[in-house]
Copies of this chain bind each other. A is one copy, B any other.
């Protein structure tokens, strides 16, 4: 059995760790860059969808965006038609930080993929997307309280 997932875990933790260290200078605390990036790229998204997208607990997301809003990186706006939801938008400050995050993430991508040629990168990306789609089904299933049998 090829330990594909173990490699993925190592890469993910290493990169997350690097990012968290590097974003401290922009007053972004642990994990926050994840949310801010998605909000900048999907303005108007709501908390619940954001959590699904990132694959993190709903309540963790709630607190992360609360802090992002408190520190003026994002803004929560009420919806006219739906009193329940709050749409999330980046502020100028948030969008600014986003530029830095992109720069850092792009660099990390480059480092991570160094030595791979264009075609290999494409193959990797395609395969990972399939893995991700497979995985997110189970994540949602288990998060809802269902039991997997194995």
Contacts and interface: CB of A to CB of B under 8 A. Distances in A.
Interface of A: 1-18, 21-22, 34, 53-57, 103-109, 111-116, 120-125, 127-132, 134-139, 142-143, 148, 150
A11 B135 contact: yes
A14 to B, nearest CB: 4
A142 B125 CA distance: 26
The 9 closest A-B pairs by CB, nearest first: A12-B12, A107-B150, A14-B139, A7-B128, A13-B55, A14-B55, A2-B125, A124-B127, A14-B135
A20 to B, nearest CB: 10
A123 B127 contact: yes
A11 B108 contact: no
